Amino acid sequence: MDGDTFARVGYLAIILAALGGWALVEFRQRMGQALRMAMAWGLIFVGVAAGYGLWSDIRRETPPIQAVTQGTVEVPRAADGHYYLTLMINGRAVHFMVDTGASGLVLARQDAEALGITADSLTFLGEAITANGVVRTAQVTLPRIELGPFVNRDFRAYVTEGEMQGSLLGMDYLGQFRMEFTGDRLILRQ
């Protein structure tokens, strides 16, 4: 231990000794009550510390909720700086990250499988250039896509052969909307 660390440990020991001495004098006739109070405050401290430590994980897991009003969809920016939309595809909710740099609607393999599209039934003939390199793609047709009041039928999408963290909503889909970025919101209008 260097001198600075030794001084800090000594300082904390003096504070703990002073607090312990005060507790002994104050609760000398009621030690059971003192122990119960110490346990209660200890549990409160642990709970607050755990909540503080987990808060960033909890916030990341809970994406902001899109608001659909008459002819408008408002999407709040998530804590990671991206915008996320939930589309109903064939009656099933699929979460997408808005990607204005992507040209197509791209389903991650796990989302495609949840929609009943198996990788074995696909022919991966296309290629897409991504930030992670070139990946092979298969074209699929989605019978019905809904975003609030907006409905598309027989929409062309792609499934990637490579691993993706989630599905991407590219300009093939977003191009049907007027997009407006205001503050921390994305507003889509038709």
Question: Contact 188/72 with Cβ under 8 angstroms?
Answer: yes
Residues 36 and 116 in one domain: no
CB neighbourhood size of 170 (10 A): 21
pLDDT for the residue 58: 64
Co-location of 38 and 92 in the same domain: no
Q: Residues 105, 150: one domain?
A: yes
Q: Which runs of consecutive H residues, i.e. helices, occur in 73-151?
A: 109-114
Averaged pLDDT, 175-188: 92
Indicate if 54 and 82 belong to the same structural domain: no
Same domain, 129 and 155: yes
Which domain-ending residue is among 61, 81, 104? 61
Does one domain contain both 149 and 81? Answer: yes
- DSSP code of residue 102: -
- Residue ranges making up the domain that contains 114: 67-189
Q: Tell me the per-residue pLDDT of 123-180, one tens digit each, with 9 for 90 and over.
A: 888 888 777 778 888 999 999 999 988 999 999 999 988 778 889 999 999 999 999 9
The pLDDT value given to residue 60? 56
pLDDT of residue 61: 56
Write down the pLDDT at residue 23.
Answer: 79
Residue 32 has pLDDT above 60, yes or no: yes
**Residue 57 pLDDT:** 67
pLDDT score for 81: 87
Residues 139 and 182 in one domain: yes
pLDDT of residue 45: 87
Residue-wise pLDDT tens digits, 53-98: 887 666 555 566 888 887 889 999 988 889 999 999 988 999 999 9
Of 178, 179, 167, 175, the closest CA to residue 142 belongs to: 167
Domain stop point among 22, 43, 61 = 61
User: Can you tell me the distance from the alpha carbon of 89 to that of 143, in angstroms, rounded to the nearest whole number?
Assistant: 8
Mean pLDDT of 1-18: 88
24/78 same-domain check: no
Please tell me the total number of residues recorded for the chain in this structure: 190
Domain holding 147: CATH number?
2.40.70.10
Contacts of 130 (CB under 8 A, 6+ apart): 162
Number of domains in the chain: 2
- Whether 168 and 126 share a structural domain: yes
